[in-house]
A and B are shown apart, each in its own frame.
Chain A
Amino acid sequence: MNTSKPPTMDLQNLNPSSLKSRFATRFLRALTKINAQKPISPSSPTEIFQRYRRIKVAADKSMAYSVRSRRTWSRATLWRLRTRSPRSRLATLARRSSVKTRTTTVVDKTSHGKENKEERGAGLGVEEEELRELVPGGEAMDLCNLLDETAHYIKCLTTQVQVMRTIANLYSLD
């Protein structure tokens, strides 16, 4: 994917339309927006928590947008984010309960306590379930596509973590 080089800058040849650059663009824009709209306030925990939520949403959203609708998980993420706050809770609860019988109060990809789950025997079955829970949109896929999606999802998550870590390092260098 490293094909084009900028004309005057001698940098590492990275594709300007690569996933990383697309994501970084979007995320930086969103980040600046969030930073911009924040009123001048002391950093109270609730304030920070709010910002954290917004930043996380922005990160997920920008990553999903970078992938467009090419992947099931990105579509699922965008759908989740879209139907989020206004009447989201009911919508997501209805959607989730139709697939699995669980009660979730907050749409959060990672809020599943899996530390208690033991291996129940039918090896592929339990891990398959867990994987489906982890990967957004994974409930309705067969195993073959699920593994595909997982691979792409891992790649995108890695990119996301890289970019965010770099930005955080830059931020915190004062």
Chain B
Amino acid sequence: MELNAGTGGNGSHKTASERDEVAALESLQFTDEIRRLMSAPGGDNASSFTALLELPAPQAVQLIHSPESAKLIAAPAPAPAPNVDDFRGSFQFPFNCGLIDRAARFSVFAGDGNINGNNKSNSPEPTSYNSSASLQKPVKSEPAETESSQPLVSDPTVENRSIKRKDREKVKGSSKKSKTSVKESSDDAEKLPYVHVRARRGQATDSHSLAERARREKINARMKLLQDLVPGCSKISGTAIVLDEIINHVQSLQRQVEFLSMRLAAVNPRIDFNLDSVFTAESGSLMDSNFSGMVIPMMWPEVQLNGNRQQYPQQLHLDAFQQPVSGREEVCNSYITPENSLLNYDSSGNSA
């Protein structure tokens, strides 16, 4: 006796080898599913798999219980129907293209973990298993092929489906570094009329992650600049440590400003400050040469502007330099500001 599954009624027989293959494949996939289904109460005709096959539950179970896989399935099948016993001996897999398609589709779903679309109607995932030709494209979405598959083709399609499943899992494994899996994003892209962007391997293509990536690159570029600025930071790798160094550097600079201002305050305020002698003395140990170079050109506009000197209540001159003392004393006799001392310096021709 043969089982005629629902729609087509075209009960062509499979060969034993094909049946064994299919059964083995399906048994691999189905053991857990079947256990679950069997443990469910028997009148569960609306359960996914049995509804898929349009068979009453026990007969569906018997369908799967091919002689080879009977050992694999531990739980005994409920067999209320008397005619079921006949199947045990001469089990023939009722080959029906629709049945095979649906079963394979279900297996595809089981393998992927998406059990949606139990309906027999050509589910929204026909592309997942129809794309036997697109095994080589791990990233792009598969083109939709025709739904109907011939019996001759169905066996290779079953194999191809299983192979494609493994491929997909491999692809997923390799692209684990992306936050959203590429397959999912491409699946989403399938359904909606998006522009397909060819992303780098392992990276998602939606606009959010693109913007995020651009932002991260900007931040990394600036961190590199900061690393160059802060001494001793170029060897360090790692954002947090570099930031720590930057923070320490800023703190130390601020503290230095404080100490220096304290020093300036603590210096005897009666010291008369005269920049004149500063620029004449060429001793590099006494002054920063940059400092001298910096102040003098700054004074040039004041040379023309300030024709007269301003008088300050306090005389500022610096007798810091013991060597070039004599020539400078005369300059410091009047009340002059440091800036005007330069003017004086210039006019008196005391050039180094």
Contacts and interface: CB of A to CB of B under 8 A. Distances in A.
Interface in B234-286: 239-240, 243-244, 246-247, 249-251, 253-258, 260-271, 273, 278, 286
A60 B260 CA distance: 12
Given A6-B296, A32-B316, A124-B240, A48 B266 contact: yes
B239 A124 contact: yes
**Complex A-B, nearest 6 residue pairs according to Cβ-Cβ distance, in ascending order:** A123-B240, A11-B293, A127-B243, A173-B320, A51-B265, A52-B265
Interface string B65-99: 00000000000000000000000000000000000
Interface of A: 4-9, 11-14, 16, 18, 20-21, 24-25, 28-29, 31-32, 35-36, 38, 40, 43, 48-49, 51-52, 54-56, 59-60, 109-110, 114, 119, 123-124, 127-128, 130-131, 134-135, 143-144, 147-148, 150-151, 153-155, 157-158, 160-174
Contact of A127 (B244, B263, B319, B320): B244
A109 to B, nearest CB: 6
Interface residues of B, number: 64
B291 interface: yes
Contacts of B240: 119, 123-124, 127
Contacts of B288: 162, 165-166, 169
B243 A131 contact: yes
Given A124-B239, A170-B320, 12 more contacts: A4-B297, A5-B297, A11-B293, A11-B297, A32-B273, A35-B316, A43-B268, A134-B254, A147-B225, A168-B263, A171-B273, A172-B263
A160 B290 contact: no
A32 B219 contact: no
B144 interface: no
A38 B314 CA distance: 10
28 contacts: A7-B300, A11-B297, A14-B297, A18-B294, A20-B294, A21-B294, A21-B298, A24-B298, A31-B264, A32-B338, A43-B268, A52-B261, A54-B265, A56-B261, A110-B254, A127-B243, A147-B223, A153-B250, A154-B226, A157-B250, A157-B254, A161-B256, A161-B260, A164-B261, A167-B264, A168-B260, A170-B318, A171-B264
